[in-house]
A = this chain, B = another copy of it.
Amino acid sequence: MVNTNQIAEIGLLVGEPARAAILTALMDGQALTATELARCAGVTPQTASSHLSRLTAANLLTVQKQGRHRYHRLANADVAKMLEGIMQIAAGTTPQPRKIVLGPRDTALRKARTCYDHFAGQLGVAIADSLVSRGAIEFDDDAGLITPTGFAWLSELGIELNPQGKRSNRPFCRPCLDWSERRPHVAGRLGKAICAHFMERKLVRRITNTRALEVTPNGRIALRDMFGIRDF
């Protein structure tokens, strides 16, 4: 049984700016080294190290040794999902002052980024809209479903979903409310599959040191042909 102390422990871990920065930096599913995380959290490596060991001890992160580097990543998708939930609330907390000018980095993040293992930002939302409008998926606040025709169509595009080993015989997908767009994008198995598809074929590429993504020329063509998205 979960007691309140265990809950508070998790909250405490997230409730520290440096650690929150580390966790959000890892939200895109990448594995980063301790020093990289220190830099993006704005603290010294010693401090980051202490944070990382605490996060790892609590099973929020896992470490992978590779030479003299230690790569840190989120322990599993559930942790990402929890962080999503917190970000959802955090976004609504302070009606943040209407920013007049967005920094270029912010703009890039809004445009396209990864969210653990799937697309988010305007790109993520545009893909979701396209899938909904052509009846490939159906969305609700809490749930999503891939229609039979959608399943077949995605298959033709080369996006394979493997629902074997699943409790259900229908292919589900998960809507994830985008905190920048305030509209749902596709998460879950389908979101992961789409993201992987684009990554493998180098249709998108990570902008170094951010969670932001850049759509390559081939990617632009693919977005138009697959999803009818023209302005990327």
Contacts and interface: CB of A to CB of B under 8 A. Distances in A.
Please tell me the size bucket of the interface on A.
35 or more
Given A140-B166, A142-B143, A172-B145, A16 B20 contact: no
A7 interface: yes
Interface in A6-37: 6-17, 19-21, 23-24
A153 to B, nearest CB: 18
B142 A188 contact: yes
Nearest to A187: B142
A82 interface: yes
B6 A24 contact: no
A11 B15 contact: yes
Contacts of A10: 14-15, 86, 89-90, 93
Contacts of A92: 59, 78
A209 interface: no
Given A2-B90, A9-B90, A11-B13, 17 more contacts: A1-B96, A1-B180, A5-B17, A6-B93, A7-B14, A7-B23, A7-B24, A7-B86, A8-B15, A8-B16, A10-B89, A11-B15, A82-B88, A141-B166, A143-B145, A143-B173, A143-B174
